[in-house]
Amino acid sequence: GAGVSQSPRYKVAKRGQDVALRCDPISGHVSLFWYQQALGQGPEFLTYFQNEAQLDKSGLPSDRFFAERPEGSVSTLKIQRTQQEDSAVYLCASSGTDRGRDSNQPQHFGDGTRLSIL
Amino acid sequence: ILNVEQSPQSLHVQEGDSTNFTCSFPSSNFYALHWYRWETAKSPEALFVMTLNGDEKKKGRISATLNTKEGYSYLYIKGSQPEDSATYLCAFPKAAGNKLTFGGGTRVLVKP
C-alpha cells in the first residue's frame, strides 16, 4: 500500500516478555519517527531516524527500549523485559524531507500497535 | 507555556452546530504548528501545518488560525457532521527538526 504500515495491530504479552513492533514507512521517506501514546494522553516522542542513522533517541524511557532501521526503510522497535507501564499505543510516522526543512512537513502515521502487558 | 496544551479535553456538539477549540504552545523559538485528526481505529491524519503569524488555513468545513506572538491556534469546525467525530491533536516541533511535542488532544463527538 501507499501508506505507513505497522504490525502487529494488537499485541498482548506477559510481563517480562520481549516484544518487537514493526514499521514499514512510505517508500522513499527519509525520516522515521516512533511515538508512544498512553491512554488519555497525546503521543510522546520516542526516537527519530534519518535513513539508517538514529539521530535522536532522547525519548526512549529506559534501556529496555531499542529501535533500529538497518537499511533505511523498515524499522523495528523492541522492548525487552516488558512492564505493565509499557502498555500503550505505539505509533510510527514518516516524512519525506531532509532534516533541514522537517518542521514544515506533515508526518504520515501508521495505524499504530496497541500493546497490552498483562 | 512550556509545553503544548489543548482545551477543552472533550466536546459534545450537536450535528449542524459549529464549534472551535484551542491549542496553546510556547511562543519563543517557533518553527511550525501541526494539526492532526485521529479517528478511532484509524491513523492520525494531517490537517494543517502552519508557519506564519496570522496564517489561516481551510480544508472543507475545517479551518485554523495561528497567533505565534501569543502562542495559540484555534481550530474551527463549521456545521459539524457525525464524521467529524475524532480526536484533534496539535503538535509543535521544538527544534528545526520534526520531533513533535503533542498536546493531549480535544476529543470531539458530534451527536446526530
CA A32 – CA B51 distance, rounded (Å): 22
Does the beta carbon of A2 lie under 8 angstroms from any beta carbon of chain B? no
pLDDT score for A90: 98
- pLDDT, tens only, B26-48: 888 888 999 999 999 899 999 99
pLDDT score for B1: 60
Each residue's pLDDT expressed in tens, for chain A with a length of 118 residues: 579 999 999 999 999 999 999 999 999 899 999 999 998 899 999 999 999 999 999 999 999 999 999 999 999 999 999 999 999 999 999 997 655 457 788 999 999 999 999 9
Cα angle, residue B64 at apex, residues B97 and B79 outer, rounded to 5°: 145
Confidence of residue B72 (pLDDT cuts 50, 70, 90): very high
- pLDDT, tens only, B49-68: 999 999 999 999 999 999 99
Mean pLDDT of chain B: 93
Interface of B with A (CB under 8 A): 4, 6, 31-32, 34, 36, 41-46, 49, 51, 89, 91, 93, 96-105
Cell match 495561528: residue? B66
Chain B residues within an 8 Å CB radius of A40: 104
Confidence of residue B97 (pLDDT cuts 50, 70, 90): low
B62-67 and A31-37 strand pairing: unpaired
Chain A residues within an 8 Å CB radius of B44: 43, 91, 93, 109
Chain B residue with CA closest to A90: the answer is: B43
pLDDT score for A98: 59
CA B96 – CA B77 distance, rounded (Å): 30
pLDDT score for B60: 95
pLDDT score for B99: 86
Inter-chain contacts counted by CB atoms under 8 A, chains A and B: 76
